[in-house]
Structure 1
Amino acid sequence: MERIPDFLALTVAKHCHKANNEYRKSIGEKIQEDSLMDATAEKRIGLVQAVQWLYAHPDAKAEDAHEQWRKAKRAAGWIPAARTNHERKEHAYLFPWASLPLPQRRKDEIFLETARFCFMAPWFTKALKEHELLSEMGIDGSAGAEGLTMVQEALNLFAGLAVALPKIVKLAEYTRLGDTISQIGVCLETVEFSDRATQK
């Protein structure tokens, strides 16, 4: 399957958006919106399309994803500029990967790694299988699978961030992000202990 249901791609996009927000906070950058659902429709659609593209291209690198984003932006009428201006459709990062500042390249890396970890997560696999089974029976499984992912969303986000971000960001340079990861680790240990106790 080279394409996943859009509702599932949206769930992954939420995690990627949250991961990038945490990184942006760690480097003192202003956050445009706390939740992806507070973003513009254009941005939500763009991130869902980015997730779909990454799922269909498992060997893609961060620079490949950036070039795909540039292509989509240019097709939508955006042009490169010194500063981003949404009204004029001018973007400060609509330049080749190699010319981007390091923090901007890391955003692409974080997005890619977070999406990849979501694709490998048990909740993602389970939701995808349920959707496929229901589709085979001629039933629209979007609502049921979306409910499953929404129930798991908080834990899934913690798991994705805990594994993905330390591989990319030097936590020693970003104390705030390091504290976030530490808190996530405690949450995961608590959940894992609770799961084992329940299984017994």
Structure 2
Amino acid sequence: MANPISEDQIQIIARVMHEAIRAFQAAHGELPAPHWNQAPKWMKKASVEGVLFKINNPNASVSAQHDQWMETKLKDGWVFGHEKDGKKKTHPLLVPYEKLPFPERQKDALVAAIITSLTQEL
């Protein structure tokens, strides 16, 4: 990476990643996350943290990216639950990477690819 990435660039990458996830969810018949402009702070924070993790760990595996996400969620008081609920802080994907359904692993790979792609020349 030639230049440090600005906070504005990080926000843009996080937004692109978030919107790509929404499209992926819709394509798989899932209820998509809210649009970035309506997304709750905790959701935007998770996107930014994911971007920062990949920037700081460019060779990290997709499973390591999921582990980072899960560790952050757990530190923030989230627990496993069958439904994602921001108020109750429950999430069905708080499981080891190996136990994620295949589409979720694909989504994690998509996230890593987007971040890598958008940070390559910065």
Partner of residue 72, structure 2: 72
Partner of residue 34, structure 2: 33
The amino acid that maps onto 1:81 is G
Greater displacement, 14-23 / 96-105: 14-23
TM-score (norm 1): 0.57
Partner of residue 83, structure 1: 83
1:96-145 Cα shifts (integer Å, max 9, x gaps): 00001011111111111011110125xxx2xxxxxxxxxxxxxxxxxxxx
Q: Is the 8 A contact 1:78 1:89 kept in 2?
A: yes
Tell me, which stretches of 5 or more residues in structure 1 are unaligned? Answer: 126-200
TM-aligned CA deviation for residue 5 of structure 1: 2.4
CA distance in 2, matches of 1:19, 1:88: 26
Give the ranges of 4+ consecutive aligned residues of structure 1 lying more than 3 Å apart after TM superposition: none
TM-aligned CA deviation for residue 19 of structure 1: 1.4
Partner of residue 13, structure 2: 12
Q: Is the 8 A contact 1:33 1:39 kept in 2?
A: yes
Q: Is the 8 A contact 2:23 2:32 kept in 1?
A: no
Greater displacement, 51-60 / 18-27: 18-27
TM-aligned CA deviation for residue 10 of structure 1: 0.8
CA distance in 2, matches of 1:77, 1:53: 20
CA distance in 1, matches of 2:49, 2:86: 19
Partner of residue 142, structure 1: none
RMSD of equivalent CA atoms: 1.7
TM-aligned CA deviation for residue 59 of structure 1: 0.3
Partner of residue 107, structure 2: 107
- Higher helix proportion (structure 1 or 2): 1
Q: Is the 8 A contact 1:63 1:97 kept in 2?
A: yes
User: Share of identical aligned residues, percent?
Assistant: 23
TM-aligned CA deviation for residue 71 of structure 1: 0.5
Partner of residue 42, structure 1: 42
The amino acid that maps onto 1:13 is A
TM-score (norm 2): 0.90
Q: Is the 8 A contact 1:62 1:108 kept in 2?
A: yes
Higher RCO (C-alpha 8 Å, min separation 6): 2
Partner of residue 52, structure 1: 52
Aligned residues: 121
